[in-house]
Amino acid sequence: MSVALILQSLFNVMKKEFSQTLRDRRMLATLIVSPVLQLVVFGYAIDLDVDRIPTVVCDQDRTPASRDLTQAFFADRTFLRRQDVLDPNQAQRALETGEASAALVVPRGFEPRVARADAPEVQVIVDGTDVTLAQVASNAASQFLLLHGIGGEPTGGERVPVAKGPFALPGFSGVAATASLVPRVMYNQRLKSAVYMLPGVLATLLLNVTAIVTAMGLARERETGTLEQILVTPIRPAVLLSGKCLPYILFGLIDVLAILLLGNLIFDVPFRGSLAVVALGSFLYLFSTLGIGILIATLSSSQQQAMLGAFAFMLPAMLLSGFMSPISSMPAWLRPFTLLIPMRHYIEIMRACLLKGAGLRDLAQQLVALTILGTGILGVSVMRFRKRLA
Amino acid sequence: MKSLRRTMAVAHKEVLHIIRDARAVYMALGLPVVMLMLFGYGISQDVGHIPMAVADQDGTPTSRRLSQALVAGGDFVRGLDLASPDDAEAALRAGRVKAVLVIPREFARDLARGVPAAAQLLVDGSDGTTATIALGDAAGILQATSSVRAVRASLSSGPRIRVRFNPTMRSTYNMVSGVIVLILAMVASLLTALTIAREWERGSMEQLFATPVLRSEIIAGKLVPYAGLGFVQTLLVITLGSFMFGVPIRGSLVTLFGCSMLFLLAMLGSGLIASVIAKSQLVAVQFALMMSYMPVAMISGFMFPIANMPRWLQALSMVVPGRYYLTTLRGLLLKGNGLDVLGRDVVALAGFATAFLAIAVWRFRRRLA
């Protein structure tokens, strides 16, 4: 077959795939509208910066001193005064029902002890069922109590993050001068969650749109037998597959563009790198996700199996990609496996490109990894696809 | 009586479908186990091994002690040494390290003279989780070893801040309850999403309509086998969660399974709605994902605190059944709450289950007209 003929048949397959997709309004909604909509709606949910923790106050002392203390406790808006109770048991109950996530208990005799410069007994109780919230709450509380000369640290909470400012240097506690460690956060100064979560959300949505849709689409063609019909025509299997895949790469790239644009407009996600690197990375990533979709399709005999198979890949991939929890905190034996996951490299590329303004040279390693994974997966899946049909 | 028999006939047919596709059953049951293992063992918000570069321009015993304190006391791993702070930016940008400690010249001399001296810790904020924890760790390490301890010791002893229900703040407990919700939501809604769409796609729906089976009986018959499958799954994940990860079950088992069943029905119902609305299995799966999986993952309070969301999103989360199930699950597992506390959430779950199933039947009917 001549090159012109191959191109012609490729074009024909693509045209068929396009018109089939565009005709079904729901399919189009699935491919373009729903990823963008999901990003916008759920993007607002991505906020790990805990504040306004609902708090119940039990002030048994009821003196000016205790009132000052409780007011100061709510001054920086980390805690939100939800209700006031008199009985500590009621405070406990508020925690149990989830009405409040923290309780501040000021016992009787607070003022006299302050007057005597005796360490007063103030208690903060934190609901530990939500760990993110508990860590922030107990840390803020311990800083507050320390500041007010009450002291104390959370029992059992070994690690209480988030504290900025001067630190005294070990071994110099007796010396009047202190050394301070000035922390500076680069690239995402306010540590806004949406900014560093967006690449992960984008990678997930793309994986969903491309891998699941191709896997199920091909499985459906097998179920209905249309694939065999096309194969009796002179079109080669490889041409058929690429004709089917190219439209989805296009849809995927449209999604990337729309999501980056909206992310920038709505959530202030910066775009510091070059568009070319983003486009190259996205293209390579879509290559690998489509390959995964085809591979799953060749392994399954029904759409149900294809769907479950796609999820069986997608969920672990999502967890191991460093999207939600850092790869460095995974156990050592698990970390090498994350290198096999295209999402990991794509997320690294996008984070570096959008936030750090990294260029081609900084990201060479990830781009090469994506290229190898993409061609490898796609190659294996095309081979399997041809064998199944032969 | 006749109606029951017809329902059971549809259920029987569906069971045959499920059994014949044994691979799908294995996957449906294997997926939750894999997820739970990964979440429990692999994924942890307790960050460690943060690669850190050190640019020590001072090069004195004092400055070395500072960098050693960070490595020894916390979760930093000394990745590489930089000759000049100018290389810090490049190392961070290429992602070779997540933090850079810069100790300026004359650091030790200033300290000895009694002049305040400052070292700088640069943290990569593009990975926010690591960054937050790196900052906190650095603070904690230096604070713990310094004068703060002296202040604390002078105060009377006894804990002032108590973390209840999960005193060590183990993220596993948190994760496992969230994962149970996520797994049930996903598998339940996805499996039913396929069932009715499949009949439409293959044209066997018309055949079903030629029989005296009513629409509501079709829905009920499709529901029964998947509810059974879902129940096995619930049993599996809760048992695994409590045995493998030591998640306590402090509340009553009956309430636990009752609530799980209600949640399951709600999710099966939403899958059926997706199946009835969509024309094809492919679109039904995407609908189900958007209607059940994503809301549970994003706005049920599993990963992101609800209190932080904008008000309209908080309102939207009120119609996500996963939110109520998560509350009951955490209440039952960790707090040992009873129905007196959880009553509201249980009623909400029951309401969603009824409403979703009713909508599925209603929409199903409309499409036939």
Q: Which domains does chain B have, with CATH numbers?
A: 2-43+167-368 (no CATH), 50-154 (3.40.1710.10)
DSSP A154: B
Question: Within this chain, do residues A14 and A82 fall inside the same structural domain, yes or no?
Answer: no
Report residue A162's pLDDT band, with 50, 70 and 90 as the boundaries.
very low
At B297-323, the pLDDT tens digits run: 888 877 777 777 788 888 888 888 988
Cβ within 8 Å, pair B93-A52? no
Tell whether B132 lies on the interface with A, counting CB pairs under 8 A. yes
- pLDDT tens for B158-213 read 334 555 555 555 556 767 788 888 888 888 888 888 888 888 888 788 777 778 88
What tokens were used for B120? 């700088």
Nearest Cα residue to B141 out of B64, B70, B68: B70
Write the burial class of residue B114 (CB in 10 Å: 0-12 exposed, 13-18 middle, 19+ buried): exposed
- In 10 A of CB A390, how many CB atoms? 7
Tally the C-alpha atoms within 13 A of residue B297's C-alpha that lie toward its C-beta: 19
Structure ipTM: 0.72
- Looking at the structure, do residues A91 and A112 belong to the same domain, yes or no? yes
Q: How far apart are CA A1 and CA A13, in angstroms?
A: 16
Is A266 an interface residue toward B (CB < 8 Å)? no
Pair B183, B191: CB distance under 8 Å? no
- Here the CATH number for the domain that contains residue A80 is 3.40.1710.10
Q: How far is B2 from chain A (nearest CA, A)?
A: 31
Backbone torsions φ then ψ of B33, nearest 5 degrees:
-65, -45
- B60 to A49, A254, B122: CA distances (angstroms): 38, 55, 21
Chain B, 285 to 344: residues with Cβ < 8 Å from chain A are 285-286, 289-290, 294, 298-299, 301, 303-305, 307-310, 313, 316, 327, 330-331, 334-335, 337, 341
Q: How many domains does chain A have?
A: 2
Q: Do A9 and A78 share a domain, yes or no?
A: no
Residue type, B182: L
- In this structure, the answer to whether residues A278 and A246 fall within a common structural domain is yes
Task: Select from B257, B283, B259, B258 the least CA-distant residue to B190.
Answer: B283
- The minimal CB distance from B161 to the residues A133, A153, A216 is found for A153
pLDDT average, residue stretch B39-56: 71
Enter the tokens of residue B294. Answer: 């994503």
Pick the residue from chain A with its C-alpha nearest to B171.
A131
Phi and psi at residue B105, in whole multiples of 5°? -60, 155
Name the band, by pLDDT with cuts 50, 70 and 90, for residue A158.
Answer: very low
Rg (C-alpha) for chain A, rounded Å, is 28
Question: Does residue A311 share a domain with residue A228?
Answer: yes
The CA distance from B355 to the nearest CA of chain A, in Å, is: 24
Predicted confidence (pLDDT) at residue A117 exceeds the cutoff of 70:
no
Question: pLDDT-based confidence at A174, cuts 50/70/90?
Answer: very low
Query: Percentage of chain A surpassing pLDDT 70?
Result: 81
Q: Is residue A60 part of a domain?
A: yes
- Residue A143 and residue A28 share a domain: no
- Please name the residue of chain B whose CA is at the shortest distance from the CA of residue A307: B285
**DSSP, residue by residue, A98-109:** TS-SEEEEE-TT
Comparing B13 with B279, the larger pLDDT belongs to: B13
**Tell me, what's the pLDDT at A147?**
64
- Where among A131, A147, A163 does a domain terminate? A147
Distance (Å, whole) CA A44 – CA B304: 10
Model confidence pLDDT, tens digit, residues B323-359: 899 888 888 887 777 777 788 889 999 999 999 999 9
- Do the Cβ atoms of B125 and A355 come within 8 Å? yes
The answer to whether residues A214 and A116 belong to one domain is no
**B50-56 vs B76-81, strand pairing mode:** parallel
Last residue within a domain, chosen from A87, A115, A147: A147
Please check whether residues A381 and A305 belong to one and the same domain: yes
Of the residues A147, A174, A205, which one is the last residue of a structural domain?
A: A147
Among residues B53, B278, B305, B78, which one has the least CA distance to residue B178? B305
List the one residue out of B100, B129, B93 whose CA is nearest residue A192.
B129
Domain with A119 in it: 53-147
A321, A354: one domain: yes
Confidence band for A156, pLDDT divided at 50, 70 and 90: very low
Lowest mean pLDDT among A4-8, A93-97, B18-22, B224-228: A93-97
Short-list A17, A40, A47, A6, CA closest to A251: A17
Burial of residue A276 (number of CB atoms within 10 Å: 0-12, 13-18, 19+): exposed
Contact B144, A206 (CB under 8 A): no
Q: Domain for residue A178, yes or no?
A: no
CA distances from residue A60 to A74, A86, A150, B260 in whole angstroms, order as listed:
18, 6, 17, 40
A378 in the same domain as A252: yes
A169 within a domain of the structure (yes/no):
no
Distances (CA, A) of B57 to B113, B287, B322: 18, 58, 54
Residue B8 distance to chain A (closest CA, Å): 23
Q: Are residues A268 and A120 in the same domain?
A: no
pLDDT tens digits, one per residue of B213-261 = 888 888 888 888 888 888 888 888 888 888 877 777 888 888 888 899 9
Contact A193/B at CB under 8 A: yes
B157 to chain A, any CB pair closer than 8 A? The answer is no
Q: Are A140 and A207 in a shared domain?
A: no
